[in-house]
Amino acid sequence: MQILLAIIIFLEIISYLIIFDVILSWLILFWLNLRPKFLADIIDPIYKNIRKIIPTTFWPLDFTPIVAIILIIFIKWALYIVFPNLLVEVSNLMN
């Protein structure tokens, strides 16, 4: 159960890093390129694997972060379905 809890926490951290990466990418509009190397090292392999499977770019828009977040939500949902006690453990951890 502890391993599954660690996986859920890891997926939450990755979700927040993806959102942070998207916000930093908006700063390019103001000529500020502030993407730390550690963030690129973590997020780019995820984006690369998603782009291999489906084309996610529509002109200047890149939907890869949205697809990544949806996949993470689906994985967490599947874990909660298969292991219902995991949801109780996560809720206890939040309190």
Tens-place pLDDT, residues 4-24: 999 999 999 999 999 999 999
* pTM given for the model: 0.86
d(CA 43, CA 37): 10
Tally of structural domains, the chain: 1
Longest CA–CA span in the chain (Å) reads 47
DSSP string for 29-46:
GGT-----HHHHHHHHHH
Residue 35, pLDDT score:
85
Q: Retrieve residue 21's tokens.
A: 């990466």
Domain housing 59:
2-94
pLDDT for res 22? 92
Of all residues in the chain, the percent with pLDDT exceeding 90 is 57
pLDDT at 95: 74
